[in-house]
Amino acid sequence: MTKRQEACLSDPPFWFRCINQSCQKEFDISRKLYQCPDCSDLLDVVKNYSSIDVPKLKKLFRQRRASNDPLDISGVWRYREFLPFLEEDLIHVVTMGEGNNPVLETPRCAEYVGLKRLRVKHLGWNPTGSFKDYGMTVAVTQAKKLGSRVVACASTGNTAASMAAFCARANLRAVVFIPEGQIAFGKLSQSMDFGALTLQIQGDFDVAMDLVQELSGETDLYLMNSINPFRLEGQQTVMMELFDQLDWKIPDRIVVPGGNLGNSSSYGKALMELKELGFIDKVPRLSIIQASGADPLYRTLLTSSRDLVPVKNAWTLASAIKIGRPISWKKAVRALQFTDGWCDVVSEQEIADAKAVLGRDGIGCEPASATTVAGLKRLMELGQSLDHEVSLDPDEDVVAILTGHQLKDPEYTVNYHLDNLYQHATYENRLMKKSGKLTSTFANEPIVVPPDKDTIISMLDL
């Protein structure tokens, strides 16, 4: 009996399949797998949709918005027909009303990048302040279903914060591995507040990732990083929700930051499935933006390498994407191929300024999220130089995905506006030296004034 038959006979219409073209082995969905047991490559969740009525489902998704059932309120479980769970599994669902993030016009950003119109979908407005909640509700639900007791992740902060919260809700023990001294304070505070065992690993993210991956192979720990296919299944619903919000008028391009590349991978998979099932006719181009000091995907594409070109000691102030060996890189490449997309890089200066321009639109975000606006500006500028094949048309309908909340990393924002943001700073209990000063082009410094009405009135020109 082939693996495929084994999978199909086990009845649920979902199974794991190895993404390696020369392997493609299939496995039962109820196994605790993260990688192919045969060839160690990544796994996809494959779903067998024999009977899907597209107009009926679109209508149902819309109707659920008027319901008070927690499953319908969730911007993830509202689209549960796309998730690998049976009706009877839904008793395990752990939800906090995640999703439901608005799509917003950003006229100042549009002008800044040279587009006629630019919209953002702000996934930072989730229960724990980042898009990670979309995947975590699904992965923690699967952990419950499997009867796991302890779950773990390596994290630059947001995965840890999200996992800790959902585990607290689900009564699961959570262990987070974070790189010591390299995590934004807002995120660290969340892990602690939500009761996770917080291990500060003396190493960077890539070191922490290796460690937790080995441990989950050798022990009972259930791994919650985005190598876990259930995380990516949940994150796919960002696309379903976005298109539902746009009345299924599909944009030309979607821009997303790239770190461990789970998010871009899951968008690619969502687009493949939506196209195949006939929910969409057109596929938006995916643009993945990395920071120039943490750009392994960019380097890999640029050299047409068959293996990942890793970045040793990846560096960026956008700590959420400070990753040199992204786990899901192959799936991200597949997403770019399917959508005719590409990966680009932006500098620290470009990220800082784009974030400030978003702020002027009344929209706060993490530095990592601002790579999207910075990337669009870069694309527009590159397009004007004749020899460059990438181009961005001012008329394009673009949605930028903002990934994390402004208050995750307020220190960055304050330093920018005080004209005190440095690319590198070394601490030994106190600040020792700093270098690579960034220019605060859009600084908005507070002004010290005496507590005197007349002075203030004359200052305000009232």
With a CB cutoff of 8 Å and minimum separation 6, the contacts of 392 are: 113, 114, 115, 253, 376, 379, 380, 383, 398
The residue type found at 178 is: I
341 lies in the binding site for ligand PLP (CB under 6 A): no
Binding test (CB under 6 A) with ligand PLP, winner from 239, 320, 354, 358? 320
Residue 306 has a CB neighbour count (10 Å cut-off) of 8
Binding test (CB under 6 A) with ligand PLP, winner from 229, 259, 284, 293? 259
**Residues in 112-131 that interact with ligand PLP by CB under 6 A:** 130
**Least distance (Å) between residue 426 CB and ligand PLP:** 24
Q: CA torsion, points 226, 265, 97, 373, in degrees to nearest 10?
A: 120
With a CB cutoff of 8 Å and minimum separation 6, the contacts of 231 are: 135, 136, 138, 139, 224, 225, 262, 266
- Measure the CA–CA gap between 19 and 42, rounded to whole angstroms: 6
**Least distance (Å) between residue 326 CB and ligand PLP:** 7
Residue 97: closest CA among 77, 121, 120, 117: 77
In this structure, what token pair is assigned to residue 439? 């220019």
300 lies in the binding site for ligand PLP (CB under 6 A): no
261 lies in the binding site for ligand PLP (CB under 6 A): yes
The DSSP output letter for 396 is -
Residues that contact ligand PLP, how many (by CB under 6 A): 19
Name the closest residue to ligand PLP (Cβ). Answer: 404
**Residues in 174-233 that interact with ligand PLP by CB under 6 A:** 226
- Measure the CA–CA gap between 408 and 372, rounded to whole angstroms: 18
Query: Among residues 157 and 251, whose Cβ is nearest to ligand PLP?
Result: 157
Candidates 200-208, 260-268, 300-308, 375-383 — which segment interacts with ligand PLP by CB under 6 A? 260-268
3-state per-residue secondary structure call for 145-179: HHCCCEEEEECCCHHHHHHHHHHHHHCCEEEEEEE
Q: CA torsion, points 78, 84, 88, 90, in degrees to nearest 10?
A: -40
Tell me the DSSP string of 4-18.
Answer: HHHHHHT-SSEEEEE
**Least distance (Å) between residue 112 CB and ligand PLP:** 20
**Least distance (Å) between residue 158 CB and ligand PLP:** 3
**Least distance (Å) between residue 224 CB and ligand PLP:** 13
Candidates 41-49, 84-92, 365-373, 441-449 — which segment interacts with ligand PLP by CB under 6 A? 365-373
- The phi, psi pair for 324, rounded to 5°, reads -100, -20
Q: Count Cα neighbours of 84 within 13 Å in the Cβ-side half-sphere.
A: 26
With a CB cutoff of 8 Å and minimum separation 6, the contacts of 218 are: none
Q: Count Cα neighbours of 87 within 13 Å in the Cβ-side half-sphere.
A: 0
Query: Among residues 262 and 359, whose Cβ is nearest to ligand PLP?
Result: 262
403 lies in the binding site for ligand PLP (CB under 6 A): yes
Q: Which residues, in sequence order, are bridge partners of residue 119?
A: 105, 399
Candidates 84-92, 245-253, 254-262, 336-344 — which segment interacts with ligand PLP by CB under 6 A? 254-262
**Least distance (Å) between residue 41 CB and ligand PLP:** 18
Binding test (CB under 6 A) with ligand PLP, winner from 93, 368, 374, 398? 368
Query: Among residues 12 and 310, whose Cβ is nearest to ligand PLP?
Result: 310
Candidates 65-73, 90-98, 168-176, 256-264 — which segment interacts with ligand PLP by CB under 6 A? 256-264
Binding test (CB under 6 A) with ligand PLP, winner from 321, 336, 343, 352? 321
In this structure, what token pair is assigned to residue 67? 């319901």
Query: Among residues 141 and 226, whose Cβ is nearest to ligand PLP?
Result: 226
The DSSP output letter for 256 is E
Candidates 43-51, 169-177, 261-269, 386-394 — which segment interacts with ligand PLP by CB under 6 A? 261-269
Tell me the DSSP string of 207-221.
Answer: HHHHHHHHHHHHSSP
**Residues in 140-169 that interact with ligand PLP by CB under 6 A:** 158
Binding test (CB under 6 A) with ligand PLP, winner from 229, 258, 359, 375? 258
**Residues in 421-440 that interact with ligand PLP by CB under 6 A:** none
**Least distance (Å) between residue 408 CB and ligand PLP:** 7
**Least distance (Å) between residue 218 CB and ligand PLP:** 24
With a CB cutoff of 8 Å and minimum separation 6, the contacts of 246 are: 103, 399
**Least distance (Å) between residue 288 CB and ligand PLP:** 8
* Bridging pattern class, strands 150-154 and 222-223: parallel
**Least distance (Å) between residue 203 CB and ligand PLP:** 18
**Least distance (Å) between residue 458 CB and ligand PLP:** 42
**Least distance (Å) between residue 265 CB and ligand PLP:** 7
The residue type found at 256 is: V
Query: Among residues 7 and 153, whose Cβ is nearest to ligand PLP?
Result: 153
Residues of this chain that interact with ligand PLP (CB under 6 A) are: 130, 132, 158, 226, 257-264, 320-321, 366, 368-369, 403-404
